[in-house]
Amino acid sequence: MKSRLLVLAWMFVLSVAGLARADERVEVFLQTGHVGSVSAVAVSPDGRLALSGGDDHTLKLWEIATGREVRTFKGHTKGVCAVAFSPDGQWVLSGGQLYDDNLKLWELATGREVRTFSGHTNAVCTVAFSPDGRWVLSGGHGTDPTLRMWDVTTGQEIRRFSEHKESVTSAVISTDGKWVLSGSYDQTLKLWEVATGREVRTFRGHEGGVSSVALSPDGRWALSGSHDRSMKLWEVGTGREMRTFNGRAGGSITAVAFSPDGRRAISGGYLNQPIKLWDVATGKIVRTFQSNGQTVNSVAFVPNDHWILAGYEDESGGVALKLFDTRDGKKVRDFHGIQTAVTSVAFSPDARWLVSGSEDRMLKLWELPTGRMVRSLDEHKKGVTSVAFSPDARWIASSSHDVTVKLWDVSTGRVSHTFPGATWGESPVAFSPNSKFLIAGNSDPEGKVQRLKLWDLATRREVHSFEPPLSSIAFSPDGQFLLGGGFFHKWLHLWEVGTGREVRRFIEKGRNYDLDVVSPVAYSPNGQLVLGTRLGDLKLFDTNTGNLVRTLETGTREWVKSVAFSPDGRWLLAGGDDHVLRLWEVATGREVLTLLGHFAGVTSVAFSQNGNLAVSGGRDGMMKLWRVADGIELVTMMGFGDGEWIALTPDGYYAASPKGDTHLNVRLGNQVYGIDQFRSTFYRPEIVEATLRLGSREEAIAKFFGERDGRASNRVGHFIAPPSVEISSPEDRSVLATPRLDLAVTITDKSYPIQSVRVSRNGAQVWPLQTRDLVVTAKSGVEKAPVVPVTVPAGVREWTTTIPLDLEEGENVIEVKAFNGHSETVKAITVSLPPSLVPHDDVIKPNLWILSIGINAYQDPQIRALSYAEADAQAIVQAFTQQRGKLFRDVRSLIISDSSTMKPTYDTILDNLGYLRQAGQNDVVLLFLAGHGINDDRGEFYFLPSDAAIQSDGSIKRSRAIANDEIKKVLDLPAKKIVFLDACHSEGVSKKKTRGVDNNRFIKELQAMDAVILTSSAGNELSQEGDDWKHGAFTYALLEGLSGKADLITKDGIVSMKELDGYVSERVPHLTNGAQHPVTDTPGGYRNFPVALLR
Number of independent structural domains in the chain: 3
pLDDT digits (tens, 9 = 90+) for 137-193: 999 999 999 999 999 999 999 999 999 999 999 999 999 999 999 999 999 999 999
Gap between the Cα atoms of 793 and 697, Å rounded: 45
Q: Of the residues 274, 303, 332, which one is the last residue of a structural domain? A: 303
User: What pLDDT is attached to residue 995?
Assistant: 47
Residue 1052 lies in a domain: no
pLDDT at 965 over 80: yes
**CATH assignment of the domain containing 164:** 2.130.10.10
106 and 174 both lie in a single domain: yes
- Both 806 and 858 in one domain: the answer is no
The per-residue pLDDT for 951 is: 87
Clarify whether residues 821 and 874 are in a common domain.
Answer: no
CA distance 873 to 198: 86
Per-residue pLDDT of 1048-1088, as tens digits, reads 877 889 999 999 999 999 999 999 988 889 999 988 788 78
CATH of the domain at 998: 3.40.50.1460
DSSP string, 100-144: T--EEEEETTT--EEEEE---SS-EEEEEE-TTSSEEEEEE-TT-
Q: Which residue would you say has higher pLDDT here, 5 or 737?
A: 737
- Please provide the DSSP assignment of 880-932 as one string: HHTTBTTTBS-EEEEEEETTSSS---HHHHHHHGGGGGG--TT-EEEEEEEEE
DSSP single-letter state for residue 721: P
Residues 940, 791, single domain; the answer is no
Give the end of a domain, one of 797, 823, 842. 842
- Residue 297 belongs to a domain: yes
Q: Residue 711 above 60 pLDDT?
A: no
Pair 859, 816 in one domain:
no
Task: For residue 400, list its beta bridge partners.
Answer: 384
- Please determine, for residue 622, whether its predicted confidence score (pLDDT) is greater than 80: yes
Among 613-622, 988-997, 1015-1024, 1081-1090, the least confident range = 988-997
Of the pLDDT bands very low, low, confident and very high (cuts 50, 70, 90), residue 103 is: very high
Q: Do residues 837 and 777 both lie within one domain?
A: yes
38-78 pLDDT, tens digit per residue, is 999 999 999 999 999 999 999 999 999 899 999 999 999 99
Pick the residue with more confidence: 273 or 960?
960
Same domain, 884 and 825: no
Query: Could you tell me the pLDDT band of residue 713, with boundaries at 50, 70 and 90?
Result: very low
d(CA 1002, CA 524): 45
pLDDT of residue 269: 92
What is the Cα–Cα distance from 350 to 392, expressed in whole angstroms? 8
823 & 926 share domain: no
d(CA 771, CA 756): 17
List pLDDT tens digits, range 819-857. Answer: 998 888 889 999 999 988 876 665 678 999 999 999 999
Question: Given this model, what pLDDT does residue 777 score?
Answer: 34
In a domain? residue 85? yes
Are 235 and 106 contained in the same domain? yes
Choosing from 842, 857, 875, the residue where a domain stops is 842
pLDDT of residue 1: 40
- Kindly report, residue by residue over 530-578, the tens digit of the pLDDT: 988 877 889 999 999 999 999 998 888 788 999 999 999 999 999 999 9
Buried b (16+ CB within 10 A) or exposed e, 350-382: eeebbbbbbbbbbbbbbbbebbbbbbbbebbee
pLDDT at 779: 40
Domain membership flag for residue 348: no
Task: Based on the fold, state whether residues 201 and 84 are members of the same structural domain.
Answer: yes
Under a CB-based contact definition with an 8 Å cutoff, are residues 95 and 59 in contact? Answer: no
Q: Does 748 map to a domain? A: yes
Query: Which pLDDT score, from 0 to 100, does residue 249 have?
Result: 60
Q: What is the pLDDT of residue 778?
A: 38
Range of the domain at 248: 73-303
C-alpha torsion sign, points 538, 544, 547, 550: negative
- Residue 23 contacts by C-beta under 8 Å, 6 or more apart in sequence? none
For residues 772 and 853, state if they share a domain: no
Does residue 883 lie within any of the structural domains?
A: yes
Better-scored residue on pLDDT, 543 or 1095: 543
Domain co-membership, 811 together with 862? no
What is the C-alpha to C-alpha distance for residues 615 and 939, in angstroms, rounded to an integer? 26
| CATH of residue 825 | 2.60.40.10
- Is the pLDDT at 109 greater than 80, yes or no? yes
Is the pLDDT higher at 291 or at 864?
Answer: 864
pLDDT tens-digit map of 499-528: 989 999 888 775 544 435 567 899 999 999
Looking at 517-569, which runs of residues are DSSP E strands? 521-523, 529-534, 537-542, 548-553, 560-565
Give the chain's mean pLDDT.
88
Range ranked top by mean pLDDT from 246-255, 465-474, 569-578, 821-830: 569-578
Residue in 607, 640, 610 with CA at minimum distance from that of residue 625 = 607
Q: Which has the minimum average pLDDT: 4-13, 705-714, 931-940?
A: 4-13
Q: Is residue 896 part of a domain?
A: yes
State the pLDDT confidence band at 680, using cuts at 50, 70 and 90: confident
Q: Is 734 a domain residue?
A: yes
